[in-house]
Structure 1
Amino acid sequence: MHISHSGEDDNLKRLLSFSVAYIEAKCGEFDLSGKTNLDIRATELVFERTRYAYNDAVEYFDDNFQSDILGLSLDMVFALEEESDA
């Protein structure tokens, strides 16, 4: 989304917040500004879902990113288990 004006800022912030909530509900909590592999992958999914929502195609997001969502959610579960074992 190459937007060169600020007229869309409020809408984009709203869409981003919806996408963060959606990815956290599907995969688990993450840090948007985090540097871990899991944080980066989750943030990428947030941006992708926001792109779909912005273009009125959010209903296609799950199908197109199903393997990414599933992989991230499993990796997050495994990471939590490793933390609790340590």
Structure 2
Amino acid sequence: MNEITEELLAEFKERMKLSDDEDGNLTRILKASTEDLIDKCGDYDVHVNERFKELVFERSRYAYNDAIEYFDNNFLTQITTLAISKALSSSSSVEGDTSEKE
């Protein structure tokens, strides 16, 4: 689901104005950013949810520039918003499941 595809890598490289000689490193950075943000925000698909993809790209930019320690504080509002949205959607689907059983 959240595989780092060539398309996602190309989109990130274009945004960062990077060349092809760093593909392995950039793929690792994107993968780590995706996994970290899934842990914090919930299970979003980076290929489907544009807000989640934006956060993945921003975290990857911070990691690439050796400034990862600043990411969480600088993007706390966006991280929290996605986490709350995921929690609310999970909660409403659980409530819907229990009401169907009654």
Give me the TM-score of the superposition, normalised by structure 2. Answer: 0.75
Q: Which amino acid aligns with 1:40?
A: E
Counterpart amino acid of residue 34 in structure 2: V
4+ residue runs over 3 A deviation: none
Q: Percent identity?
A: 42
Other-structure match for 2:77: 67
What is aligned with 1:7? 21
> In the TM superposition, what whole-angstrom CA distance separates every residue of 1:38-83 from its partner, at most 9, and x where no partner exists?
x221111100000000011000001100111111101110011122
Q: Which has the higher contact order (CA 8 A, sep 6+)?
A: 1
Partners of 1:46 and 1:26 in 2: CA distance: 12
> What letter matches 2:71 in structure 1?
F
Consecutive unaligned residues of structure 1, counting only runs of 5 or more, are none
Return the match for 1:42 from 52, 56, 73.
52
Once the 2 structures are TM-superposed, how far is the Cα of residue 85 of structure 1 from its aligned partner?
2.3
Gaps of 5+ in 2: 1-15, 97-102
Task: Give aligned pairs, total.
Answer: 81
- Look at both structures and tell me which one has the larger radius of gyration over its CA atoms: 2
